[in-house]
Amino acid sequence: MNKTLSIVLIIWMVLSITENVLNLKRMKLYEERQEELDAKDEELSKRLRVYERVSDPKTVQFYVTELNKIVDNMHRLGKIIDSGEEIGTSLSRIEKDYTISLDKVNSIYEIIDSVKDRQLLDLTQTENKISEVWESIGKIEKLIDKSEAGIISNRDAIKKEISKVNQTLNTIKKSKIGGKIFGD
């Protein structure tokens, strides 16, 4: 009965593991399909929003207004071509606007060049200050190294002196007079 129970348990465990593996594969497949459907849904939603914007009466009215403006401009252009008088006026106005714009652009370039020169000068000065700071740091590090070496040697000398004083005190304590003084 023991072997039979063991075999049944083993078969049950194998079937359970197989079922879990199949469930995991199904879940992975389900997640992949869900991601694909979510992507398609997002794309359709974007298209629907675009359609809604285009089909909006205000948008249609805006397009009609713009088309009317284009037609009016084309009609005016036809008149200009027919009369030829407005072309000279329009060209002189365009040339004047161009000259004014060119002057503004040139003044902006001058300002940009002066700002660029100032920034380069400031950058050079900053670089010089940084290099001076690094030199000072190097000098300070050398002084610290020298001071540290001196402190270490002084510390060692002080330890030797303290050791000598302790030996002298121990010698005095061990002597007859020291025993009377220190009460041993």
Burial code (b: 16+ CB inside 10 Å, e: under 16) for 144-165 equals eeeeeeeeeeeeeeeeeeeeee
The CA-based dihedral angle spanning residues 118, 121, 127, 130, taken in that order and rounded to the nearest 10 degrees: -80
Determine the straight-line distance between the first and last CA of the chain, rounded to whole angstroms.
88
Angstrom distance (rounded) from CA 44 to CA 38? 10
Rounded (10°) angle between helices 57-83 and 2-55: 40
Give the model confidence (pLDDT) of 76-103 as tens digits. Answer: 877 766 666 666 677 778 788 888 888 8
Q: What's this model's pTM, rounded to 2 decimal places?
A: 0.30
Band of pLDDT at residue 174, cut at 50, 70 and 90: confident
Residue 33 has pLDDT above 80, yes or no: yes
- What phi, psi does 183 have (nearest 5°)? 75, 35
